[in-house]
Amino acid sequence: MAKHPFKEWVIAVRPWSFPASAMPIIVTLAFLFWTEAQINWLNGALTLVGMILFHIAGNTWSDYFDFKKKVDAEDTFGAKTLTTGMFQPEEIRKIAIVSLVLGVICGITLVALTGLPLLWIGLAGAACTLLYPAMKFNALGDLDILITFAFLPTIGTSYAVTGAIDWSVLLIALPIGLITDGILHCNNTRDMVTDKRAGITTMAMKLGPASAAKLYAFEMIFPFVWVALCSIAGILPLHTVIVFMTIPIALGCAKTLLNGYNDGPEMTADLDVRTANLQLLFSVLLSVAFIAARFI
């Protein structure tokens, strides 16, 4: 593997995307703290590290196949690590494999510390990581993201830190997962022309521009409806309504795609970054709410 400056390694692994994988775990830990569960914080830290390693593997594995499939090219908004010649395809593939192996080692360690149920959750996560390119190319990428970045990490974290699966963590998996999926979905809506040229089919392409934009708007707004309903019903603490501080960002994101999907990809070029920022802020506030509810 050729020598690369640190800046290029950072670009290759995209640490700015890590909140998408880290925040579901952090919010789950805060949620379990609110429920007064007995938490093994060391296992929680190991779960977080493993999830980020799987995320790196997923990013680079997807970059490799997007480049091979010509989904990412010089005129697209996708990752530039390969289209600019910064890295060679085999280098990106090796990063993916090494990250996946290290993630599996973290998983095996956690299985040894906890029990076999975590093995099946981990294997499901690894399978989703490896199958993501194929699922993305066949309109199933959104489902893969929901499973990998919402349902599996919250369930897996609950087992890793308490020794039992707490299914109530799915209450927080859904809103966070929808916003996270919005990162992919707005990209796919923006890239429909170039994705069609590459011969792949995404969920956005199946729906068409108008319906794809409406689905994205739903992913931005429904998490707030969900949190409000759960807090009113007493399922979640009323403190969680603090997430409404981010609703102007969500409304702005939804409005951008609803009004701009026909105006060319440049109009929505930065929407994935704005959606990722929303996911981070929403998750941080949700975590703060659970911690505050434990004491107040």
Its pTM stands at 0.91
H/E stretch holding 294 reads helix 271-295
At 1, is the pLDDT very low, low, confident or very high (cuts 50, 70, 90)? low
Q: How confident is the model at residue 3 (pLDDT cuts 50, 70, 90)?
A: confident
Reported as a pLDDT band with limits 50, 70 and 90, residue 92 is very high
pLDDT at 218: 98
CA distances from 196 to 135, 188, 272 (A): 15, 11, 20
- More confident call, 161 vs 79: 161
154 within 8 A of 38, measured Cβ to Cβ: no
Instruction: In whole angstroms, give the CA distance from residue 62 to residue 78.
Output: 11
Residue 133: the pLDDT is 84
Both tokens assigned to 110: 């956690």
Asked if residue 44 lies in contact with residue 25, where contact means CB atoms within 8 angstroms, the answer is: yes
In the chain, the percentage of residues whose pLDDT exceeds 90 is 69
Residue 20 has pLDDT above 70, yes or no: yes
For residue range 28-87, list pLDDT tens digits in order. 999 999 999 999 999 999 999 999 999 999 889 988 988 887 777 666 666 778 888 888
Q: Measured between alpha carbons, how far is 203 from 59 in angstroms, rounded to an integer?
A: 19
* Chain centre to alpha carbon of residue 274: 14
pLDDT in tens, 116-128: 999 999 899 888 8
Neighbours of 294 (CB within 10 A): 14
Cα radius of gyration rounded to whole Å, the chain: 19
Which amino acid appears at position 190 of this protein? R
Average of per-residue pLDDT across 86-107 = 92
Domain boundaries, given as residue ranges, for the chain: 17-295
The pLDDT mean for the chain works out to 91
Mean pLDDT value of segment 151-168 = 96
153 vs 14: which has the higher pLDDT:
153
Reduce the secondary structure of 206-274 to three states and give it as a string.
Answer: HHCHHHHHHHHHHHHHHHHHHHHHHHHCCCCCHHHHHHHHHHHHHHHHHHHHHHHCCCCHHHHCCHHHH
Distances 144 to 80, 86, 102, 166 between C-alpha atoms, Å:
23, 28, 21, 22
Q: Give residue 191's pLDDT.
A: 85
Report the pLDDT averaged over residues 175-182: 96
> Which of 31-45, 210-224, 237-251, 258-272 is predicted least confidently?
258-272
